[in-house]
Amino acid sequence: MQRMSSLDRRQFLAAAAAATVAPLTPAVRSGAQDPLIVNALGDLEDPNPDPNAPGPTKSNPVADAKPTSYSERILREAHASGLTAVNVTLGYVAGDMEPFEYTIRDIARMDGLIRRQSGDLRKVFTAADILAGKAEQKIGIIYGFQNSSMLGNDASRIDVFGDLGVRIIQLTYNPANQIGDGSAAPQNRGLSSFGREVIARLNAKRIMVDLSHSGEQTCIESARISTRPISINHTGCRALNDLPRNKTDAELRLVASKGGFVGIYFMPFLNASGHASADDVVAHIDHAVNVCGEDQVGIGTDGPVTSIDDLNAYKSALAQEIAARQAAGISAAGERPDTLPFVVDLRGVDQFRDLAARLRRRGYTSAKIEKILGLNFLRYAHEVWGASTPT
């Protein structure tokens, strides 16, 4: 079914450029003339601990209270941040629940949430939907997975998820699965034969192949065999901090050479101490740009924009979460109870404005900053998703 009139690549990029003509300035609600900001992996959530919410457990280490609506504060602060669109993680990541059924239910939950809050949110099927949502002053919600265990051993399930609006599928989480080895799998075995079948099906369905969390060999093999560009939506540069969750220059260069996208996260893995700063984020972006080129790098913060009111209370809740992740065997190297899953001096409503200012001081032009904040992801999305939803 055709969702929008087709745009050729030149027309599309001209429209994208026209949507980003103004400087990044604070606003109560992001307007059509603010720069386009796409978070290639993030969330719309309130990170402040809820004492009534169920805590993480070994059997459900990434569980949280899945919302059926976003609070007024979450939406207000997301608009104020200038966020245009965000890839949110849906479905199974880890735990004892049945992956396929859990994922289908979670997609239905998010569909209902967007229907109920359609004045603020727009479901994203194509890159053109990102631009349309921006014009409507709505935040685009991109449906993505951070594991592919919900496929089981049936690649045809990709068609089911694609028809439900899933636009990004990350092949592995940290451990190995039926697709290939994740970054925490010590064997670094690469793709399985089924993994190769999955990539071919994702290419045919025009769904992004995301290699975040993958092992090095899985990433390299996937980039080589994929007939469409792939992405690493949230990562850091291993040349700056040698941890498995970060990507080597070889991985980054290969993905970029095939027209792909690399998003730098705001995570503790950017610094050997486990306590990353805004300077680390800029350094990793700068390194990625030097390796990949200025047209292939963006941001995938792996976090929300809502501010944390009580950092000490947050740290206490986080320690429980990290303990549950470690007990379940899904924790990444460098993840400790005292590490924070964000950058302390680059968080909250002003995080994108702060990043833009820091890049500007680093010598980046406004045009390059706009590419990093969103235009590079938009270009990549147009290449993979096309101008209309595939049937």
Distance from C-alpha of 218 to C-alpha of 179, rounded to nearest angstrom: 9
Q: pTM here?
A: 0.89
Let me know: does 179 contact 191? Beta carbons within 8 Å.
Answer: yes
Q: Can you give the pLDDT at residue 29?
A: 42
Residue 327: per-residue pLDDT: 84
**Location of structure tokens 């969750």:** 245
Written as tens digits, the pLDDT of the chain (391 aa) is 333 334 456 555 555 655 544 444 433 344 446 899 999 999 999 998 776 666 666 566 655 568 999 999 999 999 999 999 999 999 999 999 999 999 999 999 999 999 999 999 999 999 999 999 999 999 999 999 999 999 999 999 999 999 999 999 999 999 999 999 999 999 999 999 999 999 999 999 999 999 999 999 999 999 999 999 999 999 999 999 999 999 999 999 999 999 999 999 999 999 999 999 999 999 999 999 999 999 999 999 999 999 899 888 888 888 888 888 888 888 887 888 788 889 999 999 999 999 999 999 999 999 999 999 999 999 999 999 986 655 5
| 340-366 per-residue burial string, b: 16 or more CB within 10 A, e: under 16 | bbbbeebbbbbbbbbbbebbeeeebeb
HSE-CB at 321 with a 13 A cutoff on CA atoms is 19
Lookup: tokens for 350: 């002003």
The CATH fold of domain 9-47+58-385:
TIM Barrel (3.20.20)
- What's residue 32's pLDDT? 46
Determine the pLDDT at residue 31: 47
Cβ atoms 140, 124 nearer than 8 A: yes
